[in-house]
Structure 1
Amino acid sequence: MFNLFILLSERLGIIMILAFLLVNMRFFRDLIEKRTLKSQIWLFIIFSLFVVIANLTGVEISSSKEIVTPLILTELPQSDSIANTRMLVITTASLTAGPYVGLLVGLVGGLHRVIFGGFSDYFYIVSSVLIGYLIGVLGDKVKKNNLYPSTFWVAVLSFLAELIQMAFIFAFHGFGLIKLIFVPMILLNTIGSCLFIEILKTYLSNERQLRAVQTKDVLELANKTLPYFRHGLDFDSAEHVCKIIKKYTNFDAVGLTDRVNVLAHVGAGQDHHIAGEPVITDLSKTVIASGHEKLAHSKEEIGCPHQDCPLTSAIVCPLQVNKKTIGALKLYFCAEQEMTVVEENLVRGLAMIFSGQLAIGIAEQQTSLVNEAEIRALQVQINPHFFFNAINTIGALMRVNVSEAHRALMQLSTFFRLSLKNGQAKEITLDQEKRYVSAYTGIEELRFPHKFKIDYQISVPDSTLLPSFCLQIFVENAIKHAFKGRKTGNKIIINLSQKKDYLQILVSDNGVGIKPEILKRLGQEPISESGGSGTALYNLNKRLIGLYGTNSQLHIKTGEKGTTFQTEIPLKQAEKNDFEG
């Protein structure tokens, strides 16, 4: 029995090494986080290969109960038996991928065992299928809301799986074989299952923590650099941003460029990477020309013509506005080391946020030149309070729900992207406007869960054109002002219908109404005391009149049961080539 224990320990080590290599693969970790049909098919294939390996690396036990120890079993006489880690693989497949994958992996393992053993001992098919399904069902019940059961339950279920297998073996082979294999197989397969699941838990936990750290770092730096990028990409803003990044990261040098010149370079190499002079490194020129990020692991790959340049590794990301590269963010190390995943993702995140901030700043500068541009500036301007509130909300979520924080960050990114894209047009489609409203309300719902509900009552196609951001302004006004003192039961109804050749827009709420002294001024002049929405409604009314005439100006009805904003504009449809449904 002791010899068998040692030999099975060696086989267990093989499976654990394979498991360790497997969880190091990003592809595998993505599969086990969500049970989709595609992921379960892949997990079935992977664990089926594992269960075949478990059979091939088993320990052969002859009919005289002698242990035969070939490195790999190529055949098994019908009179002989095999001690292996098959149950370990079936159990872990059931616990990670669910009962159906466990059942199918058990079927593959049982069939292979029967074929491998000269088409004898058909009971292995039944026992393996039963164990795979049963452990999967029980595992789903005891894990509750977690991705996997606790270590205690993994041990209990693994022990149960081996007990069921031993019961089948006892029924068909008697007590002689059970006496030899019972303790080693139960002990090692239970330990092995626990180790396998713990390896998965550890890697996934570390990865979530890593994502949280990356998100937190990006948000903190974005928060500190926002005031500078809002004024555009110039020498002054670039120098301040580079100093901030250098201070809060471990990079040896940080640089920013436009398409031609170095705007700022802080840290190692600043004696020859000088602000105002042309970009000199081949790496940066390639990134600016191609619009794709590049990694360099040597001085040669960086391509600096200065012989004494201390920079030896780098990551350079393009800064893009409206899909056009306007410059590059460059971060360097002096030591000959490779960028870690943390550092690479940090730089990528910063480049994306900086590009968005620059786009906002550029849009604001351009829109201040002429009257039409001035109106567009009001369309795309992002309220800094909204931005900072969103960042604070995401920061708070990172402490309790990393996945939700990541989703919120993606919503914020979508909100900025749509702001920039749609803000350049006088009119956008209803579909685009609804997506923008959805991005805005998704962020607000994180701050005020279940506070409001939006009801769309729409009888016109999604290709219908309307002034950009008009629905969002109405919704924002209602969320900020209509429901004061009420945390639930708040409704916003968006009604769009055709009225002859016009589109009638009605946005209603069941809020507290508008004070008479505010109502007579609302939409007719900027109202600073209303917290900003009065200005937004004034600008919207101005746009409506400028685009469609005085017949389309805002009409407001209010009372104790709520407020309704109404306008009618000419009914138009977007061209098929322009409509993004």
Structure 2
Amino acid sequence: MELFLFMLERVGLIIVFAFLMSRWRLFRGVLFKDQGVKEKVWLIIIFSALSIVSSYTGIKIESGTINPLNQMIHSTINAEEAIANTRLIGVAIAGIFGGPLVGVSVGIIAGVHRITLGGFTAIACGISTILAGFITGGLSNQLKIRQTFSYKKAVIIGICAETLQMVVILLVAKPFEQALQLVSIIALPMIFMNAFGILIFFIIIKTFIDEEERTKALQTHQAFSIAQQTIEHFRKGLNEESCRTVAEIIKREIEVDAVAITDTNGILAHVGVGEDHHVIHQEIVTALTKRVLVEGRILTATSAKEISCPHEDCPLSAAIVLPLKVQHKTVGTLKLYFINVSSLTGAKKELAEGLSRLFSSQLEYAEIEQQRKLLKDAEIKALQAQVHPHFFFNSLNTISSLIRTDADEARALLIKLSTFFRSNLQGARQMLIPLKNEIDHVEAYLSIEQTRFPNRYDVQFHLDESLFDVHIPPFTLQPLVENAIYHAFKNRKEGKIDVKVQRLNNKLLLLTEDNGCGMREEQVKQLGKTIMQSEQGTGTAIWNIYQRIHEIYGTEADFHISSTLDVGTKIMIQLPLKATRWE
């Protein structure tokens, strides 16, 4: 019982360590993200240090009794002595979270260190520590403890590692009678307490991880709630009316003292504290906002001096100023103000960063809408109309659903959605674009569709990257892939699409081929030559591609469609490889 109490005291050190590590964001990130060399080195250093400290703080056992002169730290151990300690907790957790390499490395470091301390069990404990690293790392990968965060499996691994140590002591330590006496005293306390220490470590880390995930989920939900309320207004662009409404929504949804929105010239809206001197139409006067417009990055102020408001009685003493960007160009700022610096929390900073990205995307969508209204080319307009509203909202619904399960994938998909619409905007402005841009457009579209319908179809790219700088008409490949997805596999659960870009007879070959339902011969003859009305669609996209390439290249271009019912469709476009560029 006395040894149980001493061991419980040492486990308390593990609990303190776990608590401190759980508050260190870098450590939590290393534990759960994909681990490269740098992350594994960090884990080896941290858990080796924990294991070494555990050896130093062990409880001395001499002649079958607990040494009454036990000190907190032991730098050496006499030949007749041994120590009961929590060293294997560090080794086990290292193997569980870092895998075999980290577990073995920590086991070797901790084992060699234990041997240097001395005592009649030094060699046995050193060997068992190294073996524990092998076992915990290997079993962790097999049982996927890091992925599932299973308390039970982790505790079982800890028990196995500590039991192994007892067996090795009996086999290696001499004399056997003394080893047997030692094991009879320390086995139960060490096995039980080390397993208990692993359990507590897991619980503490998991508690803080869950807390962080809940906070992120709430922030994401709040950010998208605000975005949903503001999207209608930001569609109108940065103007006084829309910005005033947006600022009021943000102030209502977030606990801030004031919200302001500016363009590059002046204040468009200011709601809350400071309205008396932060007035619309006024030129930007705060140095912080000017810096954000120039540098294009988020800046934080924690004092009135940093805000640099020229008004002497301005009560605002903290702020987050975020850039609003369109096409990577800063077009304005969103500012969240606070009277008390303590109100400027990390959670609010993260939420503000999310809003900045969402609002920037909304403004880009607004610009897309504006450009679509100003288009004079009827063919491009017809292609733009292919971007149906339901695709946009279905994409947002998909992203919204992903937020609950995989925030990182949702963020990546939102970027792809932005890339897709940015490509549409570029295509509306230019007659020719680099082939690489068109490929990016296709990939962004596919990322969204394949997230909505996983495993529905397989798209294979065969690309000659040396042709990526060749300029082609925009909306050449993307509508072909979209047509295949929406029409070729309409009554099928899965399908395959091949996209080829290569050089053929000194021409650029663009080819899409699917194994879908195919078409009748009469349909193939009309497709591309005229707009058809049918249940499957109008053929507008194909017609536009056909018309534009022949308008630009004349007889030097070739457009060919071949299709067989229940076999598939192949569309081949050949363009001349010439350096003509249309701005």
Q: TM-score, normalised by structure 2?
A: 0.87
CA offsets, 1:48-93, max 9 Å, x none?
1111111122223345732433232232223322221101111111
CA offsets, 1:126-164, max 9 Å, x none?
1111122112323333347x6255222222222222222
Amino acid at match of 1:74: S
Q: Does 1:471 align with 2:477?
A: yes
Q: Does 1:199 align with 2:221?
A: no
C-alpha separation in 2, matches of 1:61 and 1:573: 84
Partner of 1:122: 123
C-alpha separation in 2, matches of 1:528 and 1:218: 43
Distance 1:458 1:120, change over 3 A: closer
C-alpha separation in 2, matches of 1:331 and 1:531: 50
C-alpha separation in 2, matches of 1:183 and 1:12: 15
1:306 to partner: Cα distance: 2.9
Higher mean alpha-carbon deviation, 428-437 vs 317-326, is at 428-437
Partner of 2:223: 218
Secondary structure of the residue that 1:147 maps to in structure 2?
helix
Q: Does 1:165 align with 2:181?
A: no
1:193 to partner: Cα distance: 0.6
C-alpha separation in 1, matches of 2:180 and 2:559: 89
Secondary structure of the residue that 1:81 maps to in structure 2?
strand
Residue among 368, 390, 396 paired with 2:395:
390
C-alpha separation in 2, matches of 1:84 and 1:417: 61
C-alpha separation in 1, matches of 2:294 and 2:114: 59
User: Is the Cα–Cα contact under 8 Å of residues 60 and 70 in structure 2 kept in the other structure?
Assistant: yes
Secondary structure of the residue that 1:101 maps to in structure 2?
helix
Partner of 1:268: 273
Partner of 2:138: 137
Higher mean alpha-carbon deviation, 189-198 vs 281-290, is at 281-290
Distance 1:416 1:83, change over 3 A: farther
User: Is the Cα–Cα contact under 8 Å of residues 82 and 120 in structure 2 kept in the other structure?
Assistant: no
Distance 1:257 1:371, change over 3 A: same
CA offsets, 1:512-566, max 9 Å, x none?
3468998787656777988998554454445424432365475544552444433
User: Is the Cα–Cα contact under 8 Å of residues 302 and 312 in structure 1 kept in the other structure?
Assistant: yes
Alignment of 1:499-510 (within 5 A): 499-510=504-515
Partner of 2:414: 409
Partner of 2:58: 58
Secondary structure of the residue that 2:122 maps to in structure 1?
coil
1:377 to partner: Cα distance: 10
CA offsets, 1:429-450, max 9 Å, x none?
4444333322211210111122
C-alpha separation in 2, matches of 1:504 and 1:344: 49
User: Is the Cα–Cα contact under 8 Å of residues 363 and 377 in structure 1 kept in the other structure?
Assistant: no
C-alpha separation in 2, matches of 1:417 and 1:341: 31
Identical aligned residues as a percent: 38
Structure 1, unpaired ranges of 5+: 576-581
1:417 to partner: Cα distance: 5.3
User: Is the Cα–Cα contact under 8 Å of residues 324 and 356 in structure 2 kept in the other structure?
Assistant: yes
Amino acid at match of 2:231: L
Residue among 498, 519, 532 paired with 1:493:
498
Higher mean alpha-carbon deviation, 525-534 vs 114-123, is at 525-534
Secondary structure of the residue that 2:132 maps to in structure 1?
helix
Partner of 2:15: 16
Secondary structure of the residue that 1:305 maps to in structure 2?
coil
1:389 to partner: Cα distance: 0.7
Q: Does 1:7 align with 2:6?
A: yes
User: Cα RMSD (Å) of the superposition?
Assistant: 3.4
User: Is the Cα–Cα contact under 8 Å of residues 64 and 185 in structure 2 kept in the other structure?
Assistant: no
Distance 1:556 1:247, change over 3 A: farther
Secondary structure of the residue that 1:247 maps to in structure 2?
helix
C-alpha separation in 2, matches of 1:362 and 1:398: 26
User: Is the Cα–Cα contact under 8 Å of residues 553 and 567 in structure 1 kept in the other structure?
Assistant: yes
C-alpha separation in 2, matches of 1:111 and 1:319: 56
CA offsets, 1:347-400, max 9 Å, x none?
212212222332343355457557479949966996442221111112223444
Distance 1:110 1:388, change over 3 A: same
Partner of 2:85: 84
Amino acid at match of 2:482: E
Residue among 300, 305, 320 paired with 1:300:
305
C-alpha separation in 2, matches of 1:369 and 1:168: 81
CA offsets, 1:236-277, max 9 Å, x none?
221232233233333332221001211112233223222222
Distance 1:324 1:95, change over 3 A: same
Residue among 416, 434, 440 paired with 1:435:
440
Q: Does 1:257 align with 2:258?
A: no
1:210 to partner: Cα distance: 3.2
Alignment of 1:219-368 (within 5 A): 219-365=224-370
Q: Does 1:72 align with 2:73?
A: yes
Secondary structure of the residue that 1:327 maps to in structure 2?
strand
The alignment covers a number of residue pairs equal to 572
C-alpha separation in 1, matches of 2:533 and 2:248: 36
Partner of 2:41: 41
User: Is the Cα–Cα contact under 8 Å of residues 356 and 416 in structure 1 kept in the other structure?
Assistant: no
Structure 2, unpaired ranges of 5+: none
Secondary structure of the residue that 1:461 maps to in structure 2?
helix
C-alpha separation in 2, matches of 1:125 and 1:373: 79
Distance 1:184 1:347, change over 3 A: same
Secondary structure of the residue that 1:566 maps to in structure 2?
strand
Distance 1:240 1:138, change over 3 A: same
Partner of 1:578: none
1:471 to partner: Cα distance: 0.9
Distance 1:284 1:411, change over 3 A: same
1:201 to partner: Cα distance: 2.0
Partner of 1:177: 182
Secondary structure of the residue that 2:88 maps to in structure 1?
helix
User: Is the Cα–Cα contact under 8 Å of residues 292 and 323 in structure 2 kept in the other structure?
Assistant: yes
User: Is the Cα–Cα contact under 8 Å of residues 376 and 424 in structure 1 kept in the other structure?
Assistant: no
1:99 to partner: Cα distance: 2.7
Amino acid at match of 1:45: I
User: Is the Cα–Cα contact under 8 Å of residues 528 and 535 in structure 1 kept in the other structure?
Assistant: no
C-alpha separation in 2, matches of 1:458 and 1:74: 64
1:461 to partner: Cα distance: 3.0
1:122 to partner: Cα distance: 1.3
C-alpha separation in 2, matches of 1:443 and 1:318: 26
C-alpha separation in 1, matches of 2:85 and 2:323: 54
1:102 to partner: Cα distance: 1.5
CA offsets, 1:465-499, max 9 Å, x none?
322332111111221223222222x2223233434
Q: TM-score, normalised by structure 1?
A: 0.87
Amino acid at match of 1:29: R
C-alpha separation in 2, matches of 1:534 and 1:275: 49
Amino acid at match of 1:158: G
C-alpha separation in 2, matches of 1:142 and 1:499: 52
Amino acid at match of 2:326: V
Amino acid at match of 1:157: I
